[in-house]
Amino acid sequence: MTTKIIMDTDPGIDDAAAMTMAINSPELDVKLITAVAGNVTVDKTTANVLKIVHFFGKDKEIPVAEGAKAPLIKHFEDAARIHGESGMEGYDFGTDYGKPINKTAVEALHDAIMAEDSVVLVPTGSYTNIALLFKEYPEVKSHISKIVAMGGSISGGNMTSAAEFNVFTDPHAAEIMYKSGVPIVTVGLDVTLKALLTNDSLNKLKDMNETGKMLYGLISHYNDMSGGANGRPMHDVNTIFYLLHPEAFTTKKMWIDIQTDGPAIGCMVGDIRGAYHDGKTNAEVCVDIDADFFNKWFVDQVSKMK
């Protein structure tokens, strides 16, 4: 059986790789992809989603909708310094890649979710669209089996010492999502900085096929060097890897709170002892990962793509 998923994303190079894996996985049925401001502005993230969908010839199968232009409250701060001015530097996708559907992301999310008995939501950017959806259409929650979200960290950040980019970008949206009551799997820096795509794995992609060439071009222009000389972190790809291979992850259930102001804004605080919320939990946090398996899986998947 296939798992029906909806992606909400802000491509971004690792987002592009995540979409690539999801679109080409026979175990996943991508019903909709929505874009949000994050790594670059929302007009660019929307264009980048369209580029990936068109690259794989899925224009008629996977609708794309444009979403929020800015966080709910906080000032918008992009990551063009990491992903390049367009958000997806390193490969020429051309200019004929279509347009988004004539619905806002929130409208499209509502309609796509309500059309299914159960769907998995996969946000890999800031959670602004998700927060707006839950505020306007709370009835969708009963149709979402779980959220597998890239973002956050219980061990340190990449925007500040406390905050990871996706949560930092819109902490108020993250707070709404974590208080929604929908089951959440947190795929944060605790694992994504361990599952580095090694230089050896990256070099294998270059002459593998056109998909490999595309990914090699993008990843080679990816300025996230938080993995040091050992490789590049494919943060968002880990959400798809989790959906397909949860056995590769070690997780821990806990209550997550989000800091929404002050110098620690965007910090994800995990009640790791279960001491402050009467034993209740609202997330299953990924805390470890089989990095060797991740690399093997990534390369194997790309080798099968046409």
Q: What is the pTM of this model?
A: 0.96
Would you please indicate which residues are annotated as catalytic (active-site) residues?
235
Per-residue pLDDT of the chain (306 residues; tens, 9 = 90+): 899 999 999 999 999 999 999 999 999 999 999 999 999 999 999 999 999 999 999 999 999 999 999 999 999 999 989 898 999 999 999 999 999 999 999 999 999 999 999 999 999 999 999 999 999 999 999 999 999 999 999 999 999 999 999 999 999 999 999 999 999 999 999 999 999 999 999 999 999 999 999 999 999 998 888 878 889 999 999 999 999 999 999 999 999 999 999 999 999 999 999 999 999 999 999 999 999 999 999 999 999 997
| Strand residues in the chain grouped as ranges (E) | 3-9, 28-35, 64-66, 119-123, 144-150, 184-187, 196-197, 232-233, 249-254, 256-258, 268-270, 283-289
In the prediction, which pLDDT does 225 show?
A: 82
DSSP labels for 251-303?
Answer: EEEE-EEE--SSTTTTBEEE-TTS-SSTT---EEEEEEE-HHHHHHHHHHHHH
In the prediction, which pLDDT does 131 show?
A: 98
Amino acid at 272: I
In the prediction, which pLDDT does 224 show?
A: 83
Question: For residue 123, what are the contacts with CB-CB under 8 A and spacing of at least 6?
Answer: 7, 8, 9, 129, 130, 147, 149, 150, 151, 166, 177
pLDDT, tens digit (0-9, with 9 covering 90-100), for 233-245: 999 999 999 999 9
Describe the crossing of helices 105-114 and 128-136 by its angle, rounded to 10 degrees: 60
In the prediction, which pLDDT does 170 show?
A: 98
Contact 202, 230 (CB under 8 A): no
